[in-house]
Structure 1
């Protein structure tokens, strides 16, 4: 039997922490899934001003967290269909990568989980849970227990993704709404 050296232990710890990581969709696949009728996607990185960040915090009831956001506009020919915003939130210990599709009126069209790295709580990828967000805006019903159901065993994942979607919906209302 080989002795466990500090290097071996480090490698084992790194391997075990990522053993549950699952990549479901790329950003491009999420865009196509959320806006299948789009024939063009245009990156539209968003920089929030200090004033916009304060408005987002007030509307979402959460810190705006960042001035820079990864946004892509979806078009069918010249018609703006909406936006896809990419984000990451912490689950219990690891990041959850997700995409939020928004309509031009800043309502949520759809959310997609891109990557899930936790050992528990992957049920947030369930279509029925994600469907709860459709049609909601930052001002209405984007909170666990208030329009979004919790999933037993996935409480932190549900809460953190829901908070992230509420933040993005607030950003859409403040900075993207047409």
Structure 2
């Protein structure tokens, strides 16, 4: 009798519990984000930043954020043959899963736009809110962004807010150290 009950009730309930934790949403592809942030006429030249041990130390010293990758996917962006900025993809952990986001930087390293590409958590998705993301626009590496100061927190999304803010500081430090003079 107990085996029959488990087959009828337990297995379906267990599968629902597993399914409820799978909530990845891809909002933009890399190509869609590039067009959204720089327009259809822009051209993109791959310019990945290779991050060795010394670079990790320098980026951490400048940003205060840990660096756990060896390559930062980066593109130089041109409009009419002139450098119009940089397009950078980064990932940070939300609370449990990764958030993939893109940053558009001007040629002088100011944030033009921030977009969430893939959000894998089933809570904290409010970081996609345009008003929250707009707080980053205009900032550069001269100011270390702090959650609760320059960047307002979102209740219920604190870990995502904190980690995106740290990631943005890391990207800005990377620009300052490795892309600024290109």
Q: State TM-score, norm by structure 2.
A: 0.86
Secondary structure of the corresponding residue to residue 136 of structure 2: coil
What is the match of residue 51 of structure 1? Answer: 54
8 Å Cα contact 1:43/1:73 also seen in 2: yes
Structure 1 segments, 4+ long, off by >6 Å, are 6-10
Unaligned stretches of 5+ residues in structure 1: none
1-side partners of 2:11 and 2:142: how far apart? 51
CA RMSD of aligned residues (A): 2.3
Match of 1:3 in 2: 7
Q: Which segments of 5 or more consecutive residues in structure 2 lack a partner in the other structure?
A: none
Tell me which moved more, 134-143 or 83-92.
134-143
Distance in 2 (alpha carbons) for counterparts of 1:23 and 1:66 = 21
- After superposition, the Cα gap between the structure-2 partners of 1:130 and 1:2, relative to the gap in structure 1 and judged at 3 Å, is same
| 2:156 matched residue in structure 1 | 153
Tell me the distance in 2 between the aligned counterparts of 1:93 and 1:144.
Answer: 19
Q: Aligned partners of 2:46 and 2:12: how far apart in 1? A: 43
Matches within 5 A, 1:6-155: 12=16, 14-18=18-22, 20-36=23-39, 38-155=41-158
- The structure with the larger Rg is 2
**C-alpha distance in structure 1 between counterparts of 2:145 and 2:70, whole Å:** 22
What is the deviation of 1:74? 1.2
- Cα deviation, 1:92-150, whole Å, max 9, x if unaligned, reads 11111111111221221111000112121111111111011111123314220221000
Give CA deviations for 1:58-84 in whole Å, capped at 9, x if unaligned.
110122222311111211021111111
CA contact (8 A) 2:63 2:144 kept: no
Supply the distance in 1 between the matched residues of 2:16 and 2:48 (Cα, whole angstroms). 38
The 3-state SS of whatever aligns with 1:65 is: coil
